[in-house]
Chain A
Amino acid sequence: MSGADRLLLDIRNLTVAIPGRHGVIRPVDKVTLSMERGKTLAIVGESGSGKSMLCRAILGLVPSQGEILFQSHHTGKMSTGALDRLRGREIGVVLQDPLSSLNPVMTIASQIMEPMRYHLGIGKRDSREKALELLGSVGIPHPSERMDCYPHQLSGGLRQRVAIAIALACNPQLLIADEPTTALDVTIQAEIIGLLSRLQRERNMALLLVSHDLGVVAGIADDVAVMYAGQIVELGPAGSLFERMQMRYTRALFDAIPGIDDPPHRKLPDIPGQPPDFNALPPGCRIAPRCATAGEICRQESPPLRVDNDDRHRFACWFPCEQEGASR
């Protein structure tokens, strides 16, 4: 495969602008990202950093500027009909809360059959058979007994498996999972992340995993992008990023996770304050007001996304961790 063929999703300078009472806000601000076929990209950030809005923009659910190329096709130029064929068929979606993303008055079988019948024109009997197969492959025990259940009859973990089965019904090239485990217990979370990773490998499907927890993404992501206030602030292959975090913000997100192997009663290094209001973004680096090492330049000029030694590892900081003391 040539480079262009390997590339599944190519996002350039994507901006989502939403007019509000106090002027236009940009929850996604000039984001450039790309994903290869069959790879897992994790997007990590705090609430309100624009992660979910980015997913919506990729799906064409919110108007955006910039380019989104999916399999070399410009989704911004697609007709509504063409977009409809893309969503649910080429791109599957799993959302955070399975109870509110499933239809409460439809059986789970009919919800899994729906995309197959709509997108692929598969008949009732065949799609039911495929739905049964899918329920098995997402790890639902006794799928034939569960098929005609309604969502409320299932536990949270099983519901999320059903949501995954629906997303996979048409064999998508890309699966977008927006905080798929945040509403679930740790044990179920482990199962769902393991399941997503297995399905991704088996189907050679690309996975865009959104999470606020670096711990959750560590085990399965090929690449990790850290988002803050609508921008990508650090991006790189998981190995390189976890080994040499260049942004203090990324490190702070990492350190804030209580570890099971930590010394107990460890004072967690939290990040003071909260993400900025999109209506009143600080000039310069958007993290500067929360960053202990921010200098004069940080408050004036916004740092460009620059390249680390590894050309795929990028970060946007004037004073990255590894140059500590060297240039100041």
Chain B
Amino acid sequence: MSIQSGVNLLTVENLVVEFPAAQGGKIHALSGVSFDIKNGETLGLVGESGCGKSSLARAIMQIPPPVSGRIFLGGEELTGISGKKLRELRSSFQMVFQDPMASLNPVRTIGSSVELPLRAAELDRQFDVRQLADEALVSVGLDPEQYFSCKPAALSGGQCQRVCIARALIGKPKLLICDEPVSSLDVSVQAQILNLLHDLKAARGLAMLFISHDLAVVRNISDRVAVMYLGRLCEVAPFSEIFQSPAHPYTRALIEAVPRPDPWQPGGRNTMCGELPSALTPPTGCRFRTRCPRAEDLCAAVQPELMEISTGRHVACHFPL
């Protein structure tokens, strides 16, 4: 994919993340992932646990930096920078984590947690940090007077997640990376947080990388959807097409697994066989072939590349649906 600055906010090229394992082995968390996110666009990223979704989010955040590949944010290259420069740039790309209780420091007050990104970027001399923190709390629907000096233990899970979002937004980022932000929440609170993210996106023109294993949640919030399997992208397409006519067998299996709240047509079938293979020894060729009902010899021999099959629609499959 080419870099078109001005249109794309985030461009990720050929990202590789590997972790050392015992006996000289390697965990292939990400193997050559490329995609982009336009200004103000929400890209939903779906896949099962262990497919590399969080590794991707962390690689973009540079915690830790990827093994190879390049990441551009608004024309600036993020790979290879560190220290003060990275801390300054971080204000423009922020992350919200899965477990809101665990991602807030339990001994800090809510207010000081929200202020922290500005202090880390050494912007606290330039700005009235307290006022910005109040504004950030208001924007996520929390009353600063009531909550500023609370500790996280006094808040519910949904409120903690609002605090995490406020903390991510205080530096006025252009890109918000949400790593399973609603997975540990109840459906009622999940709806509140999804609506909040929607409103924030509209109000601030935020671009988002929204990671989830729940396709229904991703459908609700995304403009485009990327499906990931074992460290590689299977399919990237606009939401309108991917749900109507999935092109990759894995995408279809994920869609069929979503339960429907209807006792007569419950859905929730798993049509895949077997377990996710180990990222230590991923299958040759197409990584999904061991669980794919359509796999043939070609799939084991040749790795399918992500190809554009129609405008804006990319699929990595030898035998797309």
Contact = CB atoms under 8 A, between A and B. Distances in A.
Interface of A: 46-48, 141, 155-158, 184-191, 193-194, 212-216, 218-221, 238-239, 242, 252-254, 256-262, 264-271, 274
Contacts of B188: 46, 252-253, 256, 270-271
Given A187-B254, A190-B268, A212 B186 contact: yes
Contacts of B258: 186, 260
Contact of A274 (B158, B217, B268, B275): B158
A186 B261 contact: no
A28 B21 CA distance: 48
Given A155-B49, A264-B240, 19 more contacts: A47-B156, A157-B275, A158-B275, A185-B213, A186-B213, A187-B270, A188-B270, A193-B268, A194-B269, A212-B186, A216-B268, A218-B260, A256-B188, A257-B261, A259-B260, A266-B220, A268-B195, A271-B192, A274-B158
A259 B261 contact: yes
5 contacts: A215-B259, A219-B266, A253-B188, A264-B219, A270-B191
Contacts of A188: 48-49, 270
B49 to A, nearest CB: 5
B38 interface: no
Contact of A260 (B195, B216, B275): B216
Contact of A264 (B49, B220, B255): B220
A191 B192 CA distance: 28
A83 B264 CA distance: 38
A215 B261 contact: yes
Given A187-B270, A258-B219, A212 B157 contact: no
B48 A185 contact: yes
Contacts of B276: 155
Given A194-B268, A212-B187, A274 B254 contact: no
Contacts of A268: 191, 194-195, 220
A155 B220 contact: no
Would you list the 3 A-B pairs with minimal beta carbon distance, nearest first? A219-B266, A270-B191, A268-B191
A258 B259 contact: no
The DSSP consensus for interface residues of chain A is: loop
A270 B199 CA distance: 14
Contacts of B213: 185-187
A37 B274 CA distance: 33
A260 B215 contact: yes
Interface string B188-212: 1111101100100000000000000
B49 A242 contact: no
Q: Which of A212, A215, A271 has the most CB of B within 10 A?
A: A215
B320 interface: no
B216 A274 contact: no
A258 B253 contact: no
A189 to B, nearest CB: 7
Q: Which of B159, B262, B276 has the most CB of A within 10 A?
A: B262
B269 A190 contact: yes
B262 to A, nearest CB: 6
B135 interface: no
B219 A269 contact: no
B216 A256 contact: no
A189 B268 contact: yes
B150 to A, nearest CB: 14
B267 interface: yes
Q: Which of B188, B216, B239, B257 has the most CB of A within 10 A?
A: B188
Contact of A258 (B158, B217, B239): B217
A47 B50 CA distance: 27
Contacts of B198: 265, 267
